[in-house]
Structures are given as C-alpha cells and as structure tokens.
Amino acid sequence: NNTKYQVVKKLYAFINVFTEEVSRINEKWKGLSVAETLVPKMWDEKYSVVSALKQHGTNGDVQTAVCILIALPPVRRQALLNLIDLHDQEVWLLAYISLLNQHQLFTHANEIIKLAWIPEVNQLNQQSTTVNISCNQCNKVIPQGTRLCGNCSSSVTCSVCHQVVDGAYVWCQGCMHGGHLLHMQTWLSKNTLCPAGCGHACEYT
C-alpha cells in the first residue's frame, strides 16, 4: 500500500507540473497578436487523465483509479468526474471496497467509504451496523441481548483475562477475538498481535 501511495503521489506531482506548463504556454499564446480563432487550443490534460483512469478501471486496477481520484483536490477531481460515467465511478469504488474487505482490510475499506464522493457509497458504513458476536468455543452466533451461547452454554470471555465479559465488549473484525474494552486497549498499547494467540495483527478504530 505504501508503494501504491508513492506512485499516486508521484503521478499527482507530475500532473501538477504538467498542468502548470500547459497553462504557461497557453498564456504565452494569448499574448500574441493573432486572432484567437487562429490560435490552436493547447492540449487539455483532463482528457488524457480520464482516459488513463478508464483504462485502469477496464483492466481491473480499480485501486489506482480510486486512489488517484481521492488524492486530487475536490475542484480538480470534479473536473475529471464530469467526464466519467457515474455508473463507472460507483463500480470502481464498490469493487475497491470489496477487494479491501476480501483481504480483511476493514479499516482501510471504511476510510475509502468515508472519502467516497458518491452519497450512496459514502453512506455504506451507516447501514446495517448491527453485528452479531459468535461463541469463543463453538463459533455459533450468540443471540442479541445475552452473553450466553445457546448452543454450548459457554459465556463470552475476554481474550486477555479469560473472565466473562459483563460490560462493553470489543473485538477485532479480522479474527473475531476480543474482550473487555480496557483490557484490549492496554494489551494493544504494548502488543500488535491478538491476545488470543491466533497470530492476527488486530486493528481497532
């Protein structure tokens, strides 16, 4: 992801430099005493950038297309979006979010949702926010309103202290292990891997 960010950063810098050069040449042309209708219009970089974005999208590289659009300032981004079909924009965003979720990069997927410029996509993390927890022993879903598994009668326990959780319960969406809020905060302030010993690098937001 860091490599991809560096590529996008360099591309953004190139676009800025190129745009400034085109503007400089345009200004030079305007200063000539020739009828404006006879002066050839300089190349507009928007069309080439849009063409490149569409090519990335067609080839399945939705990450590049989405990251470039997100990295651009709102005004410049909108100038490009005006030339791209809204359906294509939505497909790129949803495909990238789906890809991140498949790799269990839920925090990153949520960031893309928050940065999305399409309202229907931007509101995804505000829908279906109810999450069922599963039993630590048999992995069956525990009914809402209780901490006792209806299948094996086990209670929801903390991965740190191994005691029954009878208060705020937090868990990692990647490995589904969790525990008392304070215990998990203390553990993750000193460790990066899950306290349950599953080897997962837990992320909490």
- Domain ranges in the chain are 2-126, 130-205
CATH number for the domain formed by residue range(s) 130-205:
3.30.40
So what's the pLDDT on residue 187? Answer: 92
Dist. CA 169–CA 79, nearest whole Å: 45
How long, in residues, is the chain?
Answer: 205
Q: Give Cα 66 distance to the centre of its chain.
A: 9
pLDDT digits (tens, 9 = 90+) for 41-77: 555 678 888 999 999 998 989 999 999 999 888 888 9
Helix residue ranges per DSSP H, 103-198: 106-115, 119-122, 181-190
Tell me, yes or no, if the pTM score tops 0.75: no
Confidence of residue 1 (pLDDT cuts 50, 70, 90): low
Task: Give me the sign of the Cα torsion angle 41, 45, 49, 52.
Answer: positive
Tell me which residue has tokens 């349950």. Answer: 196
Q: What angle do CA 128, 129, 135 make, to 5 degrees?
A: 110
pLDDT digits (tens, 9 = 90+) for 101-119: 888 888 888 899 999 999 9
8, 54, 121 from 59: Cα distances, Å: 17, 9, 22
Residues 6+ apart with CB under 8 A from 187: 160, 195
So what's the pLDDT on residue 170? Answer: 86
> What is the overall mean pLDDT for the chain?
80
Dist. CA 92–CA 54, nearest whole Å: 10
